Amino acid sequence: MIVEAILLTVITASTPLVISALGELVTERAGVLNLGVEGMMIMGAVAAFAAAQMTGSPLMGMIAGIAAGAIFSLLFAFLTLTLVTNQVATGLALTILGLGLSGQIGESFVGQPGVRLPALNIPGLSDLPFVGPVLFHQDILFYLSIVLVIGVHWFLFKSRTGLMLRAIGDSPSSAHTLGLKVIRARYLAVMFGGACSGLAGAQLSLVYTPQWVENMSSGRGWIALALVVFGSWRPWRVLAGGYLFGAVTVGQLHAQAFGIGLPAQFLSALPYAATIVVLIAISHNRRTTLINTPASLGKPFVPDR
């Protein structure tokens, strides 16, 4: 059934966007702007593929992807939070480093068969017509992305720790005066964002395309960054935006398959064109943007010594 097949591909394409965007959302809620999502994602992809290929275990691949993203994010955190370098420039450098380093690491894995993360079979639900294959016969990362949405929403808006993190993102000086450990909280937030980006990269090389292809993230890290703004720093809106962009990505692939009379280059650019259009539309609603944007986003903080 073609509708079922399209929905399955939309879910697969949207999952890495949602996971990486949620990680960046937490990072930005702490007042840190990390533009290195693309670099962390591609490092997670190559680490996950290499670990899964060498051990034969996709679970080890997932763990390796998370670890690679978190370790890579620590480099960003050390430079921006400890050495107080410019966050924008450091994030861009992290992306360039990740793209180059992943290509070097993955050179020996090009063309080798990957290890696919299997779909879960839920008794009594996976066999339901239409709904079963779409919602109850997915890999664990799909379900984990939904759990992350619920967990991040609860953490940010229902927990005391989340309230403190948002306070740090709005006014680190005031938070420091009240005795909150601003730098430590930001380190943890950046590491969480890196782990999520690495996990999103693992999904690319273990589920979306179970093989290693250089630059296989294909700009998804930048879309994830745009999703955070699109979702106004709200997890549920990020989830909706992730599936919207995932549908655009899959839609252009099916449009090419159906032979729609448009240049292939134009169709391939649609997801990124949609990103620009959405950001332009959001910029007109300045009131909503200003209310939800962390007040100290991207601004350095040096505690009194």
| pLDDT (0 to 100) of residue 284 | 67
Domains of the chain: 2-108+139-292 (1.10.3470.10)
Does the pLDDT at position 264 exceed 70? no
Task: Decide: residue 57, CB within 10 A, 0-12 exposed, 13-18 middle, 19+ buried.
Answer: middle
| pLDDT (0 to 100) of residue 255 | 67
pLDDT tens, 115-174? Answer: 999 999 888 888 888 888 888 889 999 999 999 999 999 999 999 999 999 999 999 999
| pLDDT (0 to 100) of residue 234 | 92
Does the pLDDT at position 305 exceed 60? no
Q: What is the mean pLDDT of residues 65-89?
A: 96
193: confidence class by pLDDT, cuts 50, 70, 90? very high
Does the pLDDT at position 216 exceed 70? yes
Does the pLDDT at position 279 exceed 80? no
- Beta-carbon contacts of residue 121 (< 8 Å; ≥ 6 apart): 137
| pLDDT (0 to 100) of residue 169 | 96
Q: What is the mean pLDDT of residues 101-125?
A: 90
Q: What is the mean pLDDT of residues 221-229?
A: 92
Does the pLDDT at position 89 exceed 80? yes
pLDDT tens, 12-66? Answer: 999 999 999 999 999 999 999 999 999 999 999 999 999 999 999 999 999 999 9
Question: In this structure, is the dihedral angle defined by the CA atoms of residues 7, 277, 280 and 16, taken in order, positive or negative?
Answer: positive
| pLDDT (0 to 100) of residue 142 | 96
Q: What is the mean pLDDT of residues 265-271?
A: 69
Cα atoms in the Cβ-side hemisphere of radius 13 Å centred on 293: 16
What does the angle CA 275 – CA 139 – CA 198 come to, to the nearest 5 degrees? 55
| pLDDT (0 to 100) of residue 173 | 93
- Beta-carbon contacts of residue 158 (< 8 Å; ≥ 6 apart): none
Mean pLDDT over each residue of the chain, to the nearest integer = 90
Residues 198/65, Cβ–Cβ less than 8 Å: yes
pLDDT tens, 227-255? Answer: 998 888 999 999 998 998 888 888 776 66
| pLDDT (0 to 100) of residue 247 | 87
| pLDDT (0 to 100) of residue 17 | 96
- Beta-carbon contacts of residue 283 (< 8 Å; ≥ 6 apart): 289
How many residues are present in the chain?
Answer: 305
Residues 197/213, Cβ–Cβ less than 8 Å: no
Q: What is the mean pLDDT of residues 260-272?
A: 67
DSSP 160-207: HHHHHHHHHHH-HHHHHHTT--HHHHHHHHHHHHHHHHHHHHHHIIII
Does the pLDDT at position 88 exceed 80? yes
- Beta-carbon contacts of residue 232 (< 8 Å; ≥ 6 apart): 282, 288, 289, 292
Q: Which of 190, 207, 182, 152 is nearest to 40 (CA)?
A: 190
Cβ count within 10 A of residue 273 = 13
Does the pLDDT at position 288 exceed 70? no
259: confidence class by pLDDT, cuts 50, 70, 90? low
Between 263 and 175, the higher pLDDT residue: 175
Give the position of tokens 């250089």: 214
